[in-house]
Amino acid sequence: MKSLNVAVLGATGAVGQEMLKILQEYQIPVKTLLPLGSARSAGKMISFNGQEIPVQEATDDSFAGMDFVLGAVEGDMSRRFAPAIKKSGAVYIDNSSAFRLDPDVPLVVPEINGADAFEHHGIIANPNCCTIIALMAVAGIAKLSPIKNMIACTYQAVSGAGQAGLAELEQQMDAIAKGEKPVVKTFATQIALNVIPFIDAPYGNDYSKEEMKMQNEGRRIMHAPDLLVNCTCVRVPVMRSHSIAVTLRTESKVSVEDAKAAVAAYPGVKLVEDYEGRCYPTPLDTTDQDIVWVGRIRQDLTDENGLTLWCCGDQIRKGAASNAVQILKLLAEKE
C-alpha cells in the first residue's frame, strides 16, 4: 500500500477521534494527516503517530492533495463539503446518513459487499451502526438461504448520541447517587435507570427514521430489494456497544446447527456458545474492538423457516469508524 494523504472531517468528535485511533491501529501508511473541523474546533491539537497536529477549519479549499477524506460529521455538513471533496479528486467515505440511499453512492460493509466500493464515483457511504451490526450477524446465514424478512429490536448505548449522550448518563447517575433530581437535556426523558423506545425523528409511518434504516439500507447492502425489516429501536442506559435481538425468516429452512457453523465461519463475527459460562455476549464484552459477537441462535417458534439470535457490537468502531477505515484499506490495497 502506498503512503496516503488522509483528511478526517469532524476530527474532534467521538467518531472522528476513533477514526484517528484506528488509522494508527491498522497501520495505514499515512503520509499527511489533515484533521478538519468547525471554526470552533480550529486550533485544537490532536495526537497522531507521536505528533501533535492542529485542527484546521474546513473550507472548500481544504481537500486539495488528499487521497481520502473520512467523514465524521452530520448530514448537512457532509452535503455541504461533498462537492468540494469530489472536485479535489479525493475519495470521500462518509459516516453520515446524507448519501446512504443515493443510488449513485455505494453503501458498503466490506465483509458483505466490499466489491460495491469499487463502483464509486467519489463518494462511499458508511451504513447506520445498527444496520452494520445486525447484517454482520446474519450475513453468514444469508449465504445458506436468502433472508426474506427480519424483526429486530435494538438496545442502543448512549454513546450513539455522541459525547453529550455519554455525559448525560454519567451526570444523571451521579445525581441519583447523591439523591438529586437528574437533569434531562440530550434525551427526551431520563435515561438513567430507564429505557427510551424511540430514537431519531418520526419517519411518517409511526416508525422512526432510525427504525427504517435497517430495511432501507439492508436492501442495498444485501442486494435484496424485497427484504422486509420490522424494527424497534430502544435507547438503554449502557455507555457503549449496541445489542440487537433479531428474528429472521429464510427462503428455505436453515437448521440451527448449520446457522451456527455459518456464523462462526463468517469474517468479522464471533459465535458465542460458551463464553465465561454463558451462551450470549454483552455490550461490555464487545466494547473497544471490531468483532460482532453472536449468541443464542435458536429455532423461531412461530415459523419453520425462522431463526432467532442475539448480537452485540461496538457501534463507534465497527458500527462507524472501523468500517470506514476498512473501506479505505480495501481501496488502498487494490490500488
Catalytic residues: 129, 242
Distance CA 134, CA 308 (A): 12
Paired strand residues for 123: 92
* Plot region of 162 (φ>0 → left; ψ -120 to 50 → alpha; else → beta): left
Cα distance between residue 212 and residue 72, in whole Å: 21
Neighbours of 139 (CB within 10 A): 23
List the beta bridge partners of residue 56. Answer: 36
In whole angstroms, what is the distance from residue 221 CA to residue 279 CA?
29
**SS3 of residue 231 by DSSP:** strand
Q: Which phi and psi angles does 57 have, rounded to 5°?
A: -70, 130
Strands of 277-325 (E only): list them.
292-299, 306-313
* DSSP assignment string, 279-292: SS--HHHHTTS-PE
Contact present, 107 and 116 (Cβ < 8 Å): yes
Coil, helix or strand at residue 331: helix
